[in-house]
Amino acid sequence: MRGHLMKGGAAWRAGLLSAAASFAAVSTALEIPPLRDIPRDKVHEVRVLYLEDPRLPSLGQEQLLRLEARLEALVPEFLGFKVRFKDLGRRDLRAFFDAHAEVFAEHRGEIEAMDLDPGKPADRRAIRSAIRKDFGPRDLALIREYFPGRELKDKRTAARAAYRVFLERLRAIRAIPALDGKPLSDPARRELTLYPYWTFLQFGTDAADLLLTNTVVAGADDGMPIYVIARGGISTGITNNNLSSPLQGNSLVGLLPFLSDAPFFLKERGPIPEEERLEVIATFTLHELGHLLGRYVEYYDHPGCVHVAPKGLRYLEWHREVRRSGRCAREHKKLRRY
């Protein structure tokens, strides 16, 4: 999950204020109602929409239905909620973004303020600042866990090393060849992989409660947490406020890091056995549904807990540890807003 309403600077809070005013006729961010507890004694419908980029590896419809069936069994086991997934089929990713063009146009200023372009000197300074800001309250020991094999004597050297790693990995991600041989990051449609566009899309859409897409959300912004920094800008999952959803939120999982065996992913993630691929995706989706259904905050110190995001791209090892550990018995704090 990435922080949205309750995290970030004044510009981001103003952005959500504007989005809230547009979609729900409220005048301040504080008028976004606090998250209600989701009752555990009822079956909750979760509408699932698959957004497909034909240039990238994808799940077939039979695989998608199997994934939803697995989640219907796993959610009660790991999260304690009863759910029924309503499959809404699939839509073309570009067409879906085009259908929300008014959302992006209305909030162009906020989106551009959030999006940091490593090609611009001022934005490179802002990226360094974002990394220092995130590292500030963290223990150096935790930072070292996300950047293993590097000499990190103090937080200053850690931030410098993380900045270099971040840029190297982001460049590599954007250069991953699509099925048509062109780079993943299409200059003509760069918004399709950028966090600011996705987060406003999530807040504004009424199309679904859970969005699955075969692309990846990868870029730089001023609110990146350590696990996104370490992945080179990849936000594998995002959960955001959504005023039109009965669940008051919208979750997104970008599937390319699980589906692609491009050299970058094989190097940073390792191979995922084909027979485990859907299960790994299901486990990560559980993590995001923990935010959506349980309202749980992001954790860093619960070994084997599904509410702790994977370190780097080591999804397979994380998935296996979560499944071995079972449902986490520790107490988990709840968010009032995403």
What tens digit of pLDDT does each residue of 227-253 get?
999 999 999 999 999 999 999 999 999
What tens digit of pLDDT does each residue of 81-131 get?
999 999 999 999 999 999 999 999 988 999 999 999 999 999 999 999 999
What percentage of the chain has pLDDT greater than the value 90?
Answer: 88
Per-residue tokens: 302: 């619960």
Q: Identify the CA nearest to 245 among candidates 206, 291, 293, 274.
A: 206
Per the rule left: phi > 0, alpha: psi between -120 and 50, beta: everything else, 29 is alpha
Going along the chain from its start, the domains and CATH numbers come out as 10-26+43-117+186-325 (3.40.390)
**Does the pLDDT value for residue 2 go beyond 80?**
no
Q: Residues with Cβ < 8 Å from 155, sequence gap 6 or more?
A: 132, 135, 136, 140, 143
Looking at the chain, which runs of residues are DSSP E strands?
A: 43-52, 82-92, 115-116, 210-213, 220-221, 237-241, 249-254
pTM of the model: 0.92
Q: Tell me the average pLDDT of the chain.
A: 91
For residue 299, give the DSSP letter.
Answer: B
The packing angle between helices 274-294 and 61-79, to 10°, is: 50
**Does the pLDDT value for residue 63 go beyond 90?**
yes
Strand ordering across the sheet containing 210-213: 82-92, 43-52, 210-213, 249-254, 237-241
The radius of gyration of the chain's CA atoms, rounded to the nearest angstrom, is 19
